[in-house]
Amino acid sequence: MLKKIKITKLNQYSGHKDCIYSLSKSINENCFYSGAGEGYVVEWDFENKVDGKLICQVPRPVYSLLLLQKKKQLLIGSAQGNLHVVDLNVNKEIKNIEAHTLGIYDIKLFNDTFITTGGDGKINVFNVEDFTLLKTIQASNKSARTIAINPILNHIAIGFSDHSIRIYNATSFELIQTLNHHVNSVFALSYCNKNKHLLSGGRDVFLKFYDAENNYELIKDVPAHNLHINAIQFNPNGNLFATVSMDKTLKIWDAETFDLLKVIDKARNEAHVTSINKVLWINDTQLLTGSDDKQIMHWQVELE
């Protein structure tokens, strides 16, 4: 039996002057960060529903963000391939690393390292303490777009614009396996169900589900959206996941059955009017979406 859910739009944040490509939790519990095409990184307060606070501006569009909570630093991946490090105590840039020759599409933390993927097809691994470059892998001649980490299996999955997903050993970065089930760019990856499954999505509009414990066997694929799937994210509980798309919709899914539970769009929910690029769960029942329409929307998801 399908779960029934109710969706409520709690707020809408305006102020960016260009498309929103990245969302991140803040060092402040009641806030979050966004990054956009004009190079602004903004902190928004859930209590102050009007104005955001400018953290910094970088010269090129912001494609990715990673909060280093313990260090009170924010990593900003730009369209130029530069990695900007901001000290959040004073909101000042303290380091600018030429990490890639093209845009940094994703940044993920793993133990004492962080990993970046770029439009140059490279995977870079950095020491989180001193930002030393530990390893570079020229994995493809097409963009490396998205990262998912499985700490249980010690695997890192990376999706590429050459249509592949490459699975690496998270310690040695030796290539374990290449998945070639998509027929176009892979933009979104996430592990789920206690890291037993891997989900992928991209330009071919299909969601694909793999058994990560059984040689990444493809167990299901679903035509999930009408246009590119830009992002996938699970809520902290792991019972729901969200997908967002160039087709202007946010969709909520059951993580156990992979059933579609709700479609959120402009007509029914006063949602976004252009491509939705990023989704961020704040907690088990609330999430944010960022769009080409320069808006961030705050949603409440309630199981009925």
Residues in the chain: 304
Q: Which two tokens stand for residue 33?
A: 């960060």
Instruction: Give, for 244, the enclosing helix (H) or strand (E).
Output: strand 240-245
Q: What is the Cα–Cα distance from 103 to 155, expressed in whole angstroms?
A: 24
Q: Tell me what pLDDT residue 53 has.
A: 93
DSSP string, 104-153: EEEEEEETTEEEEEETTSEEEEEETTT--EEEEEE--SS-EEEEEEETTT
Q: Which two tokens stand for residue 159?
A: 């999706």
Q: Tell me what pLDDT residue 204 has.
A: 97
Q: Tell me what pLDDT residue 1 has.
A: 66
Contact partners, residue 200, CB within 8 Å, separation at least 6 = 157, 159, 165, 179, 181, 182, 186, 188, 189, 207, 208, 210, 232
Contact partners, residue 257, CB within 8 Å, separation at least 6 = none
Sites in the chain below the pLDDT cut of 70: 1, 49
Buried b (16+ CB within 10 A) or exposed e, 111-146: eebbbbbbbbbbbbbbebeebeeeeebebbeebbbb
